[in-house]
Amino acid sequence: MLPVSRALFRHLCPAVAALLILGMPAAGPGVARADDEVSVGAPNWSGLNVTDFRGPLPARGGVLLASVPLDPALSIPGAGNAYRIQFSSLNQHRRMASSTGAVFLPPGTPPRGGWPVISWAHGTVGMADACTPSAFPRSARDQKYLGHWLQQGYAVVAADYVGLGTPGLMAYLNGVTAAHAIVDVVVASHQMRLPLAKRWAIIGQSQGAAAALNGARYATSFSRGTGLDYRGVVATGIPANLEYLYQNLGPLVPPVTLPGGLNAYTAYILAGFNETRPDLRVASVMSRKGIERLAQGRSTCYPILMKSLAGDDVRTWFTRPLLSIPGLSAALHTYMATPYKGYDRPIFLGQGLRDVDVPAPSALSLYAQMKANGQPVTLHVYPEDDHSSAVLASMPDSTPFLARILR
């Protein structure tokens, strides 16, 4: 871990602002690795295909609607029993919807009181049903990462987020909606008659880090009345304060051509925001090409979109600045801001300094905001790691952190 002083943050503030507005990568040249491998192809629904679900929905989130054994090809090596589940959760329009996810149990005999639970918030996969994480094998990195937590004696539950594999569109980087799914999958899993403890924590990476921090901010209130005991959060590769960049998009910003991965994130953010706030008519300031990019964001999984948008110029997506839309800034901040206060449990932030997907000033600025607001946060910096490798690099620090808060 690299210690970060308060004085450093005073000097970082102007640099952070410039980086976020210009969208320039923070890492050295030649270092550019995407979040992680994402599987594409035909989804394996394990016999529970609810993409066109039309059944009745309960009035509250976290109600278990269905569960089936997860196809063994989709499980994590070393896991015990695994399941694919469907549960109720609130969507971005504040209407009750359904979500899916996976539940992985450690092998062997559970401890007295059951296995503590980790709610895993996944990174970017795309917005279409064909990108649903619980319908594909986990990447090699995530198998190792999630398998580690199973070996530590934690059950792992993993929401897909509302709209992935269920009706509606997943609202990419809409933190509060993802927070509901992260909490509700834990609530629902406790209705499966499994040996699960009430103690639980959240872990998230990239898109999932923003989701995890929103989940952490609202976990106590969203789970109130369920008997669950929320303990804390681990977040790596955190996309925080990026709304300051995205609100400035237009025919002149960003002033450089971004890598394909960042272009894909941009398409997902704009597509999700446009669907969530149709009253703002985001497409009215976009070119024909930009409107095509919105459609691609809605329908194309990350590895394919990242390659297809390599070399594209985001400026050509716009005819006018986004900020020319009245109310745009406040709405975008509401949609995708990561909270920096209001937490009631410990926070672990992990960041690779060679991260070019979500440059380090994103997490560093969030840490500074949290410290300034007296939040229970610790920061762990990994100088030689990028967006993906920081996940595994953080384990020697996050393992004792979780052991402490979940004991």
For 294, the domain range is 243-335
Q: Which of the two residues, 242 and 29, has the higher pLDDT score?
A: 242
Do residues 251 and 321 both lie within one domain?
Answer: yes
CATH of the domain at 154: 3.40.50.1820
**What CA–CA distance (Å, rounded) separates 179 from 332?**
17
Claim to verify: residue 216 and residue 161 sit in the same structural domain: yes
Instruction: Say whether both 152 and 260 belong to one domain.
Output: no
CA angle 357, 164, 172 (to 5 degrees): 40
The Cα 293–Cα 305 span in angstroms is 10
In a domain, 362, yes or no: yes
* Dihedral over Cα of 57, 62, 63, 64: its sign: positive
Q: pLDDT tens across 182-226, in order?
A: 999 999 999 999 999 999 999 999 999 999 999 999 999 999 999
Residue 36: its pLDDT value, please? 67
Same domain, 233 and 381: yes
Q: How many domains in the chain?
A: 2
Q: Identify which of 200, 204, 236, 201 has the alpha carbon closest to the alpha carbon of residue 394.
A: 236
CA atoms of 25 and 329, how far apart (whole Å): 23
Looking at the fold, whether 248 and 102 belong to one and the same domain comes out as: no
Q: What is the pTM of this model?
A: 0.92
Residue 11 counted as domain residue? no
Confidence of residue 38 (pLDDT cuts 50, 70, 90): confident
- Tell me whether residue 219 is in a domain: yes
Rounded CA-CA distance 299/292 in Å is: 11
* Beta bridge partner(s), residue 203: 120, 234
- 155 and 278 both lie in a single domain: no
Q: Report the sign of the C-alpha dihedral through residues 49, 54, 56, 62, in that order.
A: positive
Residue 381 is assigned to a structural domain of this protein: yes
DSSP letter string over 203-242? EEETHHHHHHHHHHHHHHHHTTTS--EEEEEEEES---ST
Q: Is the pLDDT of residue 18 over 50?
A: no
- Among 335, 365, 387, the domain boundary falls at 335
Last residue within a domain, chosen from 319, 335, 351: 335
What is the separation of C-alpha 45 from the centre of its chain, rounded to a whole number of angstroms?
Answer: 21
The answer to the question of residue 176 being in a domain is yes
Mark whether 347 and 386 lie in a shared domain. yes
| Claim to verify: residue 144 and residue 291 sit in the same structural domain | no
Task: Note whether residue 108 is domain-resident.
Answer: yes
Q: State residue 116 phi and psi, 5-degree precision.
A: -60, 155
Q: Are residue 97 and residue 146 in the same domain, yes or no?
A: yes
Same domain, 119 and 217: yes
pLDDT at 39: 81
Per residue in 118-141, pLDDT (tens digit) is 999 999 999 999 999 999 999 999
Helix axes 395-406, 140-151, angle to 10 degrees: 40
Residue 40, pLDDT above cutoff 90: no
Has residue 36 been placed in a domain? no
Same domain, 173 and 223: yes
pLDDT tops 50 at residue 35 = yes
Q: Is residue 55 part of a domain?
A: no
Choosing from 311, 335, 359, the residue where a domain stops is: 335
| 297 shares its domain with 399 | no
Neighbours of 359 (CB within 10 A): 25
